């Protein structure tokens, strides 16, 4: 009787461990998460475009557990003087939040801040003359603020 109970208990424990192990493996982020995060937080326009496409289809990336939350440009205007900086600020937030969660924020902060600046300058390419100069100056101010305080 004790032997059958012990055998049944051992089999149940093994089954439970197998289910728990499978559940843990299924909820773990894919191994390429750091590479994906890096590819979406570079200074290039193609990096920005890839991130924007992923942001528009977040459910396809749910297994990665990325933090897509944003407060856009924090306490600064999201669209200063009518310049649409909100999406650039959202990508910056994405980088900050996800690198902090990964424990590698300090090593990546300079690049994240530079990526914000490049994104903002690309917004400014839509303007000309004194409006472009005003946009570029505002972009520089935002960059200096995150570089110093971000």
- Residue carrying structure tokens 């300090």: 106
Using DSSP's 3-state secondary structure scheme, residue 59 falls into helix
Say how far apart CA 78 and CA 60 lie, in whole Å: 27
Do both 64 and 122 map to the same domain?
A: yes
Cα separation, 22 vs 92, whole angstroms? 35
Asked if 53 and 9 sit in the same domain, the reply is no
How many domains, the chain?
Answer: 2
65 lies in the same domain as 12: no
Domain containing residue 56: 31-149
Spans of the chain, pLDDT less than 50: 1-25
Residue 5: predicted pLDDT? 39
2 is catalytic: no
pLDDT of residue 70: 98
Q: Do both 126 and 102 map to the same domain? A: yes
Does residue 53 sit in the same domain as residue 85?
A: yes
Which of 36, 48, 83, 92 is catalytic? The answer is 92
Residue 18 and residue 37 in one domain: no
Does one domain contain both 18 and 84?
Answer: no
Q: Model pTM greater than 0.75?
A: yes
- The Cα 17–Cα 87 span in angstroms is 44
Determine the pLDDT at residue 28.
85
**Maximum C-alpha span of the chain:** 91
Same domain, yes or no: 61 and 132: yes
Residues 127 and 72 in one domain: yes
Residue-wise pLDDT for 11-45, tens only, equals 444 443 433 443 344 568 999 999 999 999 999 99
Residues 54 and 119 both lie in one domain: yes
- CATH of residue 55's domain is 1.20.90.10
């Amino acid at each position: 009787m004790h032997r059958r109970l012990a055998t049944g208990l051992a089999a149940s424990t093994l089954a439970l461990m197998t289910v728990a192990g499978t559940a843990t493996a299924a909820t773990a982020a894919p191994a390429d998460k750091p590479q994906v995060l890096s590819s979406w937080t570079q200074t290039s326009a193609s990096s920005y475009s890839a991130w924007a496409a992923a942001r528009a289809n977040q459910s396809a990336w749910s297994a990665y557990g990325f933090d897509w939350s944003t407060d856009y440009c924090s306490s600064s205007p999201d669209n200063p003087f009518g310049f649409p900086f909100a999406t650039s600020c959202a990508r910056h937030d994405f980088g900050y939040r996800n690198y902090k969660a990964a424990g590698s924020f300090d090593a990546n902060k300079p690049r994240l801040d530079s990526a914000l600046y490049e994104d903002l300058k690309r917004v400014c390419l839509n303007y000309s003359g004194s409006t472009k100069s005003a946009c570029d100056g505002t972009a520089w101010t935002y960059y200096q603020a995150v570089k110093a305080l971000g």
